[in-house]
Structure 1
Amino acid sequence: MGSHHGDDETNAILLKILQHNIRVKSVQIDGLRRVQEDIVVPHLKPLLKAKNLYSLLGLVGKTHDDLEVLDAFEKIDINIEHLGKKSDVNEVMLRVAVSENRRNTFGMNVSGDRGLNDGSLNIYGKVRNLFGRLESVRVNYVKGTKISDGCSMIFNKPILSQKNSNFKVVASKENMLNRTANYMTSDVKTNMVYQVGMLGGKNEFEAEALWQQIHGGNVSMKVREEFGHHLKCAVRHKYVRDTRDDLLVPTTGSKHSIETELAGFMGDVNHVKVNVDSQINTKLFLGYSGALSFRAGLIHELSENRRTWITDKFFCGGPGSVRGFYEDGIGRPLGGTMHWGAGVSLSRKLPFSPHIWGLGKFMRINHFVNAGNLGNDRKDLFVDPRVSVGSGVIMKIANFRMEINYAVPIRYQASDVVNHGLQFGIGINFM
């Protein structure tokens, strides 16, 4: 009883301290060298609104996070200094000490691609804060042994120093082997992207100019008819609202996205393309969580003289889509102008203690049912859908999700490339 009474007294004293009136008299920032002061000041102004210690501590945490997102500072410390008491109000000063990131960064890494005996070398350099207002330029060079090689230059500028608000210009050249149809693409493109938080989610507005060549490889005659040079000019809008508790292995929350593309201002591509993707997650019983996923897309050509080429078509099937089929293994070799996919899954942590090799921390067992279809006509889309069932293990490794599943296709067509048995997948976005 005495211990419980003592805890109540301590909590009462702490609550009284947190609710005591406070006035922030000034905010001082130290350590700025290249970053202009007017970039940082808007993030510090909310600190002056604190009325008590409780609200001040919350604002200090938010300010720290906002400054960290700017990618300008290596270290951020916010200290509260007591200046004295005026009537019943404590006056404080806030001292913000920052250490700026190095202006120039260079690095390299080596990575591999699953099942293709392909390695790639990525060399990059980044220059931060070009003109003192968080502008940056990053140059990448990627050399693959089999799949791809290319280079890109990215200019990025935050708009009004706001979180999730950026203007970006990307110029790139890339050669890529299509793993499904065995043809090559050589792309030269320029993209202008504006990212902004709006309507409760992330919005991305993009304009693209693409010069593409499709060529090479031992391919079917239908794919060979797609060969040649193509010019595409397009604008896009993508909206994403994500409230999931984890981006890779969620147990609660939802994600909804819609992407719309209009192509045809110049060149030989003219279409409207829409793609939607939704996922809802919820916790169930016995430690299980359930996920319901749905995807769909449509391409509508606007002119008979111009068309949609194979590189813009939809493909379906694979470990991140309808499991139990090889990558893009469903439907026609040229893809389709319509697609849909749906999945239901149940997952839970493996019955291992986190202390047994750490397996309980990052592994989950997963049971799933997937369905989907691909076509060029509405009648094709809902006749004979492909269906698969299976179970497997999910592993969260660094910034990727890895799955090892035993999948059984129970509905498929003769033209499909099925993968009955063990299937391995690694990536970010799974159905």
Structure 2
Amino acid sequence: MGIVHAKVDDNVTETLNFKNKNIYREPSDREQIKEIDLEGVKARVDKIHIDGLSRTKNDIVEDCIKELFKAKDFQDVLLKAHKARVKLDELGCFKNISVFIDTSKGSKATPDGLEVTFNVKEHKRITGGVSTHVGNNEGVLQIGMRAPNIFGRGERVQVEYSHGSKKSSNFNLAFIKPFRGKYRPTLTSSIFQSNTEWPVSGYKQLERGLIFDLGFYSWSLLKHNLQWEANIRDLSVLTRNTSFDVRKESGPSLKSSLRHILSLDLRDDLIFPTSGSLLQLTSEVAGLGGDVGFLKNDIFVQGNYSIVEDIVLQGCFCTGYMTSISNNLKISLSDMYFLGGPLSVRGFQSRGVGPHSDGDALGSKAYWAGGLHIFTPLPFRPGRGGIGDLFRTHFFINGGNVGNIEVLKDGNLLDFIQNNLRVSYGLGVALRLGNMARLEINYCFPYIYDKGDQTHPGVQIGIGVQFL
């Protein structure tokens, strides 16, 4: 949880390290170690101070901190103070938030009373900058400008433009409005333009559209996003060698869809988790307008388990299924599932698994993939306690397949999986890139593959946040 400063008496202040349900204080040579059960320390919050408010309205802040007054003991105070800080941070009004807990003072102080002080520093009226980040095996230069807390209740407008190393570019203009309430709802409306190239499939696509997103929590960590998206997509051939199967997909299309995204993240770390799990479910129906129509469902699951200290076993599984909802509505090439590459089934080229036409990946209407990984420290632990802790040794085995849904209807699902299974394995080194992404350098061995697949044996480099 961090460092908590607790007032012991009028003249002495001790620093207590909070860990699970107990707190410990480093003793002097003449003292014995003291262990305090926080659940047994009665406490209540008498006063809450918010220092640093200027433009932010009181009601939106009060909604974030009011649960603190319901705390029954000192541990409950710490937990609710942490949750209040998270809620304040989610408003997007403040760039710095610190929390201080002290004994209650004054004529109205109770014997077990505490005073909690939040020191906040608001964002400037207009902020911006230039940054770089990595994701999906691509480096991106991003230019952004933001006007936070416009009306004093967390509303903000942000403009972003990014250009990627693979000739991709994106422009996004968004208005974001958080609301008060138990479920912490946030409404986002955005206008976007995206230009991407896919040499492995022989096409490029220009996409313009708008998205309305309502995000809320039905549980403290269970997040929902309800989205409506409408966009116009123009798919065109990339080179003169583009296959006929891709050429016949070229041209403009209009897509209107509803989407629900459910996510539950219980991991203890985003880049190198040692415990916890991640669940993401996405359901989408297109065909509420335009000429594109389908029903699509995706699942991603990740679990992490520490075998012994610093040795972590990780399992991942993902699958997706889509089907047409009308003969008069089409499924675009850009809506298909693709598999293969350093972020999914390693040992294959990007989109290298599945049907191809003259070397161009065509994708399919269903897929599944799984991975089993072991992460360990570097041999002999060089740089332990410093830069060496950013590295992990990585052992993996991946499997998966893509296929047309008609194949699944005509035959047995188990036979289809067994007859078309792709498997690869390998080892390498993974590097943490801050809290943004990780870099993997693996030596891959494709073990089972189809003659039409495009394999990538040997060294393969991947940069991203979410790997299979």
- The answer to whether the superposition gives a TM-score over 0.5 is yes
Provide structure 2 residue ranges, at least 5 long, that are not aligned to the other structure. 1-27, 356-360
Which one-letter code corresponds to 2:50 in the other structure? Answer: I
> Are residues 1:373 and 2:398 paired?
no
Aligned to 2:464: 427
1:286-305 equivalences in 2 (<5 Å): 287-305=310-328
Aligned to 2:167: 147
Q: Equivalent residue of 1:251, what SS? A: coil
Shift of 1:32: 2.0
Aligned to 1:386: 422
> Are residues 1:7 and 2:27 paired?
no
Which one-letter code corresponds to 1:191 in the other structure? Answer: I
Shift of 1:47: 3.1
Aligned to 1:257: 280
Aligned to 1:321: 344
Q: Distance in 2 between matches of 1:135 and 1:405?
A: 44
1:28-107 equivalences in 2 (<5 Å): 28-51=49-72, 55-79=76-100, 80=102, 82-84=104-106, 89=111, 93-107=115-129
Q: TM-score, normalised by structure 2?
A: 0.82
Q: Distance in 2 between matches of 1:224 and 1:357?
A: 55
Q: Is the 8 A contact 2:55 2:152 kept in 1?
A: yes
Q: 1:91 to 1:417 in 2, by over 3 A?
A: closer
Q: 1:249 to 1:179 in 2, by over 3 A?
A: farther
Q: Distance in 1 between matches of 2:65 and 2:44?
A: 17
> Are residues 1:204 and 2:225 paired?
yes
Q: Percent identity?
A: 30
Aligned to 1:279: 302
Shift of 1:285: 4.6
Q: 1:308 to 1:16 in 2, by over 3 A?
A: closer
Shift of 1:159: 2.2
Q: 1:188 to 1:356 in 2, by over 3 A?
A: same
Q: Equivalent residue of 1:83, what SS? A: coil
Which one-letter code corresponds to 1:414 in the other structure? Answer: K
Q: Deviations over 1:73-100 (max 9, x none)?
A: 2333455464247797255555544321
CA RMSD of aligned residues (A): 3.0
1:296-375 equivalences in 2 (<5 Å): 296-332=319-355, 333-353=361-381, 355=383, 358-375=386-403
Q: Distance in 2 between matches of 1:20 and 1:85?
A: 20
1:121-160 equivalences in 2 (<5 Å): 121-144=141-164, 147-160=167-180
Which one-letter code corresponds to 1:343 in the other structure? Answer: G
Which one-letter code corresponds to 1:221 in the other structure? Answer: F
Q: Deviations over 1:369-425 (max 9, x none)?
A: 111111112255542311111111111112111111111111112211110111111
Q: 1:120 to 1:364 in 2, by over 3 A?
A: closer
After superposing the two structures, state which structure 1 stretch, 193-202 or 339-348, moved more. Answer: 193-202
Shift of 1:114: 8.9
Shift of 1:110: 4.7
Aligned to 1:187: 207
Q: Is the 8 A contact 2:169 2:195 kept in 1?
A: yes
Q: Is the 8 A contact 2:202 2:243 kept in 1?
A: no
Q: Distance in 2 between matches of 1:88 and 1:113?
A: 53
Aligned pairs, number: 423
Q: Equivalent residue of 1:89, what SS? A: coil
Q: Is the 8 A contact 1:66 1:163 kept in 2?
A: no
Q: Equivalent residue of 2:370, what SS? A: strand
Q: Deviations over 1:24-58 (max 9, x none)?
A: 1x434343221111111122323333455554444
> Are residues 1:172 and 2:192 paired?
yes
Which one-letter code corresponds to 1:255 in the other structure? Answer: L
Q: Distance in 1 between matches of 2:385 and 2:97?
A: 35
Which one-letter code corresponds to 1:416 in the other structure? Answer: D
**Larger RCO (alpha carbons 8 Å, 6+ apart):** 2
Aligned to 1:19: 41
After superposing the two structures, state which structure 1 stretch, 341-350 or 75-84, moved more. Answer: 75-84
Q: Distance in 1 between matches of 2:391 and 2:152?
A: 44
Provide structure 1 residue ranges, at least 5 long, that are not aligned to the other structure. none
